[in-house]
Amino acid sequence: MSMRYLFPAAAAASFCGILLFSAQAFSQPPQPPPAVIRPGAVWPDNRGQHIQAHGGGILKYGDTYYWFGEDRGQGLDPAKRYVSCYSSKDLAHWTFRNQVIKLSDPENFGPHWVLERPKVFYNARTKRFVMYMHIDGPAGGRPYGIARVGVATCDIVDGDYRYLRSFRPLGHESRDIGQFVDDDGTAYLIFEDRPFGFRIARLSANYLSVEKQMCLIPAHMEGGALIHYQGLYYVIGSRLSGWAPNPNKYATARRLEGPWSEFRDIAPPETRTYGSQSTMLLKVVGTKKTTVIFMGDIWKPRTQWDSRYLWMPLEIGDGKLWLPEPKPWMLDLATGEVSFP
Ligand code: GAL
């Protein structure tokens, strides 16, 4: 067949193609702009209720983020402690999934027993979700005298977790905990050991125990959070001032074993971390940029259910880390880029 005869057919086909393409382009709804994260504001979930995930942690499983934290909602049974789980695909809109822990005093620690700072890891070998939490209660005349971690597991990310036991990691006191999964998939627990400082330790292969200490940073800090960014580890912690905010600080090291640098302020100290306390650092690797998010709690001790969240992208690199003044922001999860409305 000669081109003379082919051409009209090809032209018609490509013309139709253009029409089809244009029709598709017009029929696609415009992409909504990334949702706005508002530090310090009430953060409603899909039910319109303020998110209850205080002292929380984030697990990315598949293409979904899961946020676990202390549920300090009103009207709960005062004898029980609760952990709630929310899911999101954009880190801004959160769907309530389940109260994954509704626990009565599991080891007879008494009416003032404590369950704080739950963190969930996914173990790819056992295909189980493993939750660590700060388990405590009065002992030796001190309100937080027991100083242990608790472990609970579940086969489903947002299922009902089964409490297994509590223990002192590697025999040390443990109060505030933080979670960290390195780029090679190794899982670590950060825990505050009051007599000595801040410990980073590797979990065992099944994650059900704490296996090996990587370092002891001899600084008395809690709210521990850790990130590996461009070849450096950055650790953040707050001073020990209970619910009251204080100037959080960071240090860096090339290896988890150290040596660790001096601690420096992450924000102007007079702002006391803009009224917040660190709980987690989250790295979002996009096609254009890697963004590290500071996640903190703005505690309201007298109206705990109304405690707020301060999430802000950090200025980070070359051994420096800085929390900019909080303001509403947006994250493009695909590119990793941050913008401001
Ligand atoms: C903070 C700690 C919180 C909670 C509080 C109780 O220092 O980070 O998780 O334990 O003390 O006073």
pLDDT in tens, 180-239: 999 999 999 999 999 999 999 999 999 999 999 999 999 999 999 999 999 999 999 999
User: CA 99, CA 75: separation in Å to the nearest integer?
Assistant: 14
Tokens of 29: 């709804």
Q: What is the dihedral of CA 200, 252, 328, 300, to 10 degrees?
A: 50
Nearest residue (by CA) to ligand 1, atom 7, is: 242
How close is the Cα of 146 to the center of ligand 1, in Å? Answer: 14
Structure-token pair, residue 262 = 């001096």
Q: How far apart are CA 92 and CA 38, in angstroms?
A: 9
Domain residue extents for the chain: 35-41+50-339
For residue 27, what pLDDT is reported? 57
Q: What is the pLDDT of residue 101?
A: 98
User: Is the per-residue pLDDT at 20 higher than 50?
Assistant: no
* Amino acid at the residue 222: E
Specify the pLDDT at position 14. Answer: 45
Q: What local confidence, expressed as pLDDT, does residue 188 receive?
A: 98
- 53 C-alpha vs ligand 1 centroid, how far in Å? 14
Q: What is the number of the ligand 1 atom nearest to the C-alpha of 117?
A: 9
131-144 pLDDT, tens digit per residue, is 999 999 999 999 99
Protein residue with its CA nearest to atom 5 in ligand 1: 242
pLDDT, tens digit, for every residue of 63-103? 999 999 999 999 999 999 999 999 999 999 999 999 999 99
Q: How far is the CA of 235 from the centre of ligand 1 (A)?
A: 18
Q: Look at the chain and count its residues.
A: 341
Instruction: Please give the pLDDT value at position 2.
Output: 38
Q: Which amino acid is at 98?
A: N
DSSP E strands in 107-182: the ranges are 114-123, 128-136, 148-154, 162-167, 177-181
Query: What pLDDT score was predicted for residue 25?
Result: 46
Phi, psi of 321 (to 5 degrees): -145, 135
| CA-wise closest residue to 258 among 200, 339, 185 | 200
The whole-number pLDDT of residue 31 equals 59
Q: How far apart are CA 227 and CA 282, in angstroms?
A: 7
Helix spans in 124-277 (H): 272-275
How far apart are alpha carbons 190 and 179 in whole angstroms? 6
Question: What pLDDT shows up at residue 29?
Answer: 62
Taking phi over 0 as left and psi of -120 to 50 as alpha, with beta for the rest, 160 belongs to beta
**Taking 80 as the threshold, does the pLDDT of residue 291 lie above it?**
yes
Q: pLDDT, tens digit, for every residue of 151-162? A: 999 999 999 999
Q: Which residues sit opposite 65 in a β-bridge?
A: 60, 88
Which region, left, alpha or beta, applies to residue 336 given φ > 0 means left and ψ of -120 to 50 means alpha? left
Backbone angles phi, psi at 47, to 5 degrees: -95, 0
Q: The domain at 35-41+50-339 falls in which architecture?
A: 5 Propeller (2.115)
Mean pLDDT (the chain, rounded): 92
Kindly report whether the global pTM for this prediction surpasses the value 0.75.
yes
**Nearest CA owner, ligand 1 atom 8:** 223
List all residues whose CB is within 6 A of at least one atom of ligand 1. Answer: 55, 116-117, 176, 222-223, 242-243, 277
- Assess whether pLDDT exceeds 80 at residue 11: no
Per residue in 295-321, pLDDT tens? 999 999 999 999 999 999 999 999 999
User: Does the structure show a pLDDT above 80 at 23?
Assistant: no
Nearest to 50 by CA among 71, 67, 36: 71
Tokens matching residue 305:
């259910």
Cis status, amide bond into 259, omega within 30 of 0: yes
How far is it, in rounded angstroms, from Cα 117 to Cα 254? 27
Q: Which of these, 135, 161, 163, 164, lies nearest to 147 by C-alpha position?
A: 135
Place of tokens 């040390």: 172
Nearest CA to ligand 1 atom 1: 242
Q: Could you tell me the pLDDT band of residue 30, with boundaries at 50, 70 and 90?
A: low
Degrees, nearest 5: CA angle 65-69-71: 130
